[in-house]
Amino acid sequence: MKTVKAGVVGGTGYTGVELLRLLARHPGVELVAITSRKDAGTPVAEMFPSLRGRVSLAFSDPARTDLAACDVVFFATPHGVAMAEAQRLVDAGTRIIDLAADFRLRDLVEWRRWYKLDHAAPHLAAEAVYGLPELYRERIRTARIVANPGCYATSVQLGFLPLVAAGVVDTGHLIADAKSGVSGAGRKAELGLLYSEAADNFKAYNVGAHRHVPEIVQSLSEAAGGPVRVTFVPHLVPMIRGIHATLYARITREADFQSLFEKRYAGEPFVDVMPAGSTPDTRSVRASNLCRLAIHRPGGGDTLVVLSVIDNLAKGASGQAVQNMNIMFGLGETTGLEVVPVVP
């Protein structure tokens, strides 16, 4: 098996440490750099004791780290960082997987509207590949830059994709009602994320204004071959990790919907279409790269309900990033990701 030299920029956040957890046990990866400006010089295992005996590196200052010596660099950073470094790295032959949003949208006017920045590398944004393997696997294989999807976007797209691609639902009125654990907000001190604020509480946020909406619309519109409109409402729930998306679509053409999902995802190693009427829960995917889906038709009416659950830090972020790396470097797609979900 080929050994891929990997670097992680921004290794101190939740997606960063999740990447390290997966890469440290990956048989085809050598971790050669883990950067953090604030914590440069600190041994990684000192900050994250879970990695003792697995990661011997210390965090390094990104300005003094030869990231161009890596085969692949993961950016587990806020938006705006990867696009500033991308040209130098791709010129050196290093491939990039960005877990932030710098390369997710092809329309850079739309990108600026949502992210309030001028794009630093528009020519690279044009060639970047959106990293949802179940839709863009062949493009990912040869990509120099992969834009890892957002966590909500992953759960919503995988749930709607078979329906919009088959043309059996009203693509102008899709509804996504999604709930995420607190780790989705990142590893930071913020009032609304404190235990006494988030525990024993349940609230919606960014209603109609969440940044994952345009990437959801972009990919589903391409799959549908025409415009798609999605009403998306995210919620914060008092758990650490996991996303549960309840998706609603009005039927426009009859089909065997269970069979439609089973055929669309046949052979997909990380999508589990459950028996009709199932109710997957977030615990069934915790710490794994799985998405579990279930299809319902309440009362035999004209509305389909799709339940989609993922771990927001795994299939919703770092696990999917490793899946993309495997595809890019010709490794077995499931390598390093054969993790049985953690229960309880």
Average pLDDT of the residues in 275-300: 97
Average pLDDT of the residues in 289-308: 98
- Which structure tokens are listed for 343? 């229960």
Cβ neighbours around 268 below 10 Å, total: 15
Q: For position 197, what pLDDT does the model report?
A: 86
Average pLDDT of the residues in 196-201: 86
Choose among 147, 142, 34, 153: nearest CA to 98: 147
Per-residue pLDDT at 188 exceeds 80 = no
- Between 344 and 157, the higher pLDDT residue: 157
Q: For position 55, what pLDDT does the model report?
A: 97
What would the pLDDT profile of 220-273 be if each residue is shown by its tens digit? 999 999 999 999 999 999 999 999 999 999 999 999 999 999 999 999 999 999
Average pLDDT, rounded, for the chain: 96
Long-range contacts (CB closer than 8 Å, 24 or more residues apart) made by 45-50: 47/12, 48/17, 48/20, 50/17, 50/21
pLDDT grade for 274, boundaries at 50, 70 and 90: very high
The two beta strands, 129-130 and 243-250, are: unpaired
Q: For position 154, what pLDDT does the model report?
A: 98
Q: For position 196, what pLDDT does the model report?
A: 83
CA distances in angstroms from 235 to 205, 249, 303, listed in the order given:
6, 20, 22
Per-residue pLDDT at 195 exceeds 90 = no
SS3 annotation, 46-89: HHCHHHCCCCCCECECHHHCCHHHCCEEEECCCCCCHHHHHHHH
Choose among 213, 281, 200, 294: nearest CA to 247: 294
Tell me if 160 sits within 8 A of 264, measured CB to CB.
Answer: no
Across 127-136, 201-210, 240-249, least confident range: 201-210
What would the pLDDT profile of 106-125 be if each residue is shown by its tens digit? 999 999 999 999 999 999 99
Does the annotation mark 151 as catalytic? yes
The secondary element (H helix, E strand) that includes residue 197 is helix 195-198
* Alpha-carbon gap, residue 169 to 160, rounded angstroms: 9
Q: Of 151, 168, 321, 339, which one is the catalytic site residue?
A: 151
The two beta strands, 291-296 and 243-250, are: unpaired
Q: For position 236, what pLDDT does the model report?
A: 95
What would the pLDDT profile of 69-90 be if each residue is shown by its tens digit? 999 999 999 999 999 999 999 9
Residues in contact with 109: Cβ distance below 8 Å, sequence separation at least 6, in sequence order: none
List 179's β-bridge partners, or say none. Answer: 235, 244
pLDDT grade for 5, boundaries at 50, 70 and 90: very high
Q: For position 57, what pLDDT does the model report?
A: 97
* Alpha-carbon gap, residue 98 to 130, rounded angstroms: 10
Domains delineated in the chain: 4-149+316-328 (3.40.50.720), 151-311 (3.30.360.10)
Reduced to 3 states, what is the DSSP secondary structure of residue 328?
A: helix
